[in-house]
A and B are shown apart, each in its own frame.
Chain A
Amino acid sequence: MEVIAKRPATLTATPFTYCPGCLHGVAHRLIAEAIEEHGLINKMSGVAPVGCSVFAYKFFNFDMAQAAHGRAPAVATGMKRARPDMHVFTYQGDGDLAAIGTAEIIHAANRGEHISVFFVNNAIYGMTGGQMAPTSLPEMKTTTSPYGRNVDDIGYPIRVCELLDTLVAPYYIERVSLLSPAEIIKARKAVIKAIQYNKEGRGFTFIEFISTCPTNWGIDPDKSRDWARENMLPFFKPGCFRDKGAEAPAAGGTEVKS
């Protein structure tokens, strides 16, 4: 029988700890496959965040460091500066990257640190039980915004790709979604490109995944993807914001209004 899909060697046999229907696993798989495809299993190392993906160090089959909440870009900086011959990525949630770790991500991007950052945006804090994230949508109900996110009180969701796109140094910034097989195939291409640039030592690469949290949204997996499509995608528009490696910059990154 022909094998058309198998567990990449870049993943350990440890079963994922994610809820049924959670897209963290899909994001992991795309990253693992891209690393395998580029033949980097012996040269790659990653940094796991704090959040539902805290155990990522157990899932990826190469050296991994576990970072304090939000500090992954700083830890990755230390690793990469210490071992420039090694390739380094971070994997971070929206609470991790866009709240407690805002300074670290902006400055790592601004330095053009030679790392890849994979950012999973599910508009909520998953691990701690569904509190409001900096990416929670206006009017979105969470355990700490029980009456809906009031933008007059606590501001609008932060669009990280747009924010990082104001900086000079980043090499590649793209937002993708994981809501359907077609979108996953697109996301796959973006991840492969990010890892390729990383392999070639081109600079800072950043991929944002629009993801879901069926558990804390309280919506079943199928419907949660619809919910994300209807509510998240208009605010967090997928697209390529920056690709210094492309001859002509790819489309996308168009101005979005709230």
Chain B
Amino acid sequence: MSKILMKGNEAVAEAAIRAGCRLYFAYPITPQSELIEYMAKMMPKVNGTFLQAESEVAAINMVYGAAGTGKRVMTSSSSPGIALKQEGISYMAGAELPAVIVNVQRGGPGLGDIQPAQGDYFQAVKGGGHGDYRMIVLAPSSVQEFADMASEAFDLADKYRNPVLILADGMLGQMMEPVEFQPAKTQAEIDALGEQHTSWCICPNDDGDAKHHHEINSLEIDPQVLEKHVNKMYEKYAVIEKDEIQYDTYNLSDDNEILCVAWGTASRVVKSAINELKAAGKSVGMIRPITCWPYPYEAVAKAIGPKVKQVYVFELNTGQMLDDVKIAVSGKVPVKFWGKVGGIVFTPAEIQAKLEACF
């Protein structure tokens, strides 16, 4: 199939529709508005449901209701909107509902600005909502990956009955890159995907004899029962931590003197800097977590080659993933951090200078 030049926001929307998403509820916010606009245009063409909700709070609760019927459903927003969705995300995690949420991050805190940032890492992976729960978090670094993650996120959500977050940023949402799409699922395939949920989802009873009573619910007033439920969820999370870790490496070798750790958009800039240094005969490697939860702790630890004297973390925040890197490195090598905030993306030259200072 040929490649199409597309904005990230539109590519992820198109990929979601191809993956069988037929319900989408959201509220406009920059820099993800192209996503909601694309859905408004395309959903009616595939007999899908597009609904502009009155708020992010309503949107995520519409997702809760629709996910409760076992259908593929999605919402998207940017940082302040995702903050409002945290109530619903916690309820969905508690009720074990599959759904996909896209966060096209912008600068914060508060209303912040509308430029790319990575300030929502804590909110995404440390649980922005209340209670003991986990959410699978996928962080793309290209428009292609952003699009590919849509179908992957739905598969993971279905597999684990858990909300999945795609943690992109304003850069990926707004930039255009060539994308190749997977073929669109047929109606029969989409129906089959829904079938896997019929044992628990809200649906009409086919006939009076086969009457069921399914409950979509996160409330459990008996502490003993709630304890069991939360522990059962953590057994599921343990499986996810074992089976679903994803990361990418760049220029990793035993000659590396510095190991960089970066995710999403930031990793692209670091790559450019590594290339420059390589041309100058210096060996710097990088590991890029693709899943921010589950976090690739072991992989980061293993990526530290025999000559590495410095681990360097670069993020478009003040050091939120840094904590996880430190856990992975566990004091074996010094860990440094440099980041940019305010919605400003660092340049390859800036990263290069930071790295050169370590040699």
Partners in one complex: yes
User: Bound state CA distance, A29 and B311, in angstroms?
Assistant: 66
Interface residues on B, range: 35 or more
Indicate if the CB atoms of B61 and A75 lie closer than 8 Å: yes
| B51: chain A residues within 8 A (beta carbon) | 77, 81
Q: Which residues of B from 148 to 165 have beta carbons under 8 Å from A?
A: none
Which of chain B's residues has its CB closest to A107's CB?
A: B54
Taking the complex as formed, is B284 at the interface, i.e. its CB lies under 8 A from any CB of chain A? no
| CB-defined contacts of A80 to chain B, threshold 8 Å | 65
B73 at the interface (CB under 8 A from A): yes
Taking a contact as CB atoms closer than 8 A, the residue among B23, B202, B212 that contacts A65 in the complex is B202
Instruction: Return chain A residues, CB-CB under 8 Å to B205.
Output: 41-43, 62
Q: Which one of A55, A76, A106 contacts B65 once the chains associate, using CB atoms below 8 Å?
A: A76
Min CB distance A109 to B, Å, is: 11
B63 within 8 Å of A (CB atoms): yes
Residues of A within 8 A of B69 (CB): 78-79, 82-83, 86
Quick check: is A184 within 8 A (CB to CB) of the other chain?
Answer: no
Known: A42-B205, A68-B88, A71-B61. A79 touches B68 (CB 8 A): yes
Asked if B138 is at the interface of the complex by the 8 Å CB criterion, the answer is no
Binding site for A on B (CB under 8 A): 23, 25, 49, 51, 53-55, 57-59, 61-69, 71, 73, 87-88, 91, 95, 202-208, 211-219
A236 to B299, CA, bound (A): 65
Other A-B contacts than A81-B66, A107-B58, 16 sampled, CB-CB below 8 A, are A61-B213, A62-B213, A63-B215, A64-B213, A65-B215, A66-B95, A71-B64, A74-B57, A74-B58, A78-B25, A78-B62, A78-B73, A79-B69, A82-B68, A82-B69, A83-B203
Q: Which 7 A-B pairs have CB atoms at the shortest separation, nearest pair first?
A: A78-B65, A74-B61, A78-B66, A78-B62, A42-B205, A75-B65, A65-B216
How far apart are the CA atoms of A107 and B58 in the complex, in Å? 9
Contact with B along A41-67 (1 / 0, CB 8 A): 111010100000011011001111111
Of the A-B pairs whose beta carbons lie under 8 Å apart in the complex, a sample of 29, sorted by A's number, is A12-B213, A41-B205, A41-B208, A42-B204, A42-B206, A57-B215, A57-B217, A62-B205, A64-B202, A64-B217, A66-B95, A66-B215, A67-B61, A68-B61, A71-B57, A74-B53, A74-B59, A74-B65, A77-B58, A77-B62, A78-B73, A79-B202, A80-B65, A82-B73, A83-B69, A83-B71, A85-B204, A86-B202, A104-B57
In whole angstroms, how far apart are the Cα atoms of A115 and B54 in the complex? 17
Name the A residues within 8 Å of B87 (CB-CB).
68, 71
Task: State whether A54 and B219 are in contact (beta carbons under 8 Å apart), knowing that A74-B58, A78-B23, A81-B49 are contacts in the complex.
Answer: yes
B217 / chain A contacts, CB cutoff of 8 Å: 57, 64-66
A104, B54: Cβ atoms under 8 Å?
yes
Of all chain B residues, the one with the shortest Cβ separation from A85 is B204
A: contact size bracket: 35 or more
CA A158 to CA B240, docked complex, whole Å:
48
A80–B62 Cα distance when bound, in Å, is 9
B203 touches A63 (CB 8 A): yes
B263 → chain A closest CB, angstroms: 31
The minimal Cβ–Cβ distance linking B104 to chain A, given in whole angstroms, is 22
Give Cα distance in the complex from A15 to B51, angstroms.
Answer: 38
> B residues within 8 A CB of A42?
204-208, 211
Contact between A63 and B214 (Cβ–Cβ < 8 Å)? Answer: yes
Chain B residue nearest to A69 in the complex (CB): B87
Task: Kindly list chain B residues whose C-beta atoms are within 8 Å of the C-beta of A55.
Answer: 219
Cα(A65)–Cα(B203), bound, Å:
11
B-chain residues with CB within 8 Å of residue A86 when the two chains form the complex: 69, 202-204
Give the docked Cα–Cα distance between A43 and B212 (Å): 11
* Contact call A81/B212, Cβ cutoff below 8 A: no
**CB nearest to B49 among chain A residues:** A81
**A103 at the A/B interface (Cβ < 8 Å)?**
yes
Would you give the shortest CB distance from A74 to chain B, in whole angstroms?
4
Complex alpha-carbon distance, A47 and B49, angstroms = 20
How far is it, in angstroms, between the C-alpha of A77 and the C-alpha of B69 when the chains are bound? 12
- B residues within 8 A CB of A107? 53-54, 58
Q: Which residue of A lies closest to B48 (CB)?
A: A81
Considering the chains assembled together, what is the distance between the CA atoms of A64 and B212 in angstroms?
11
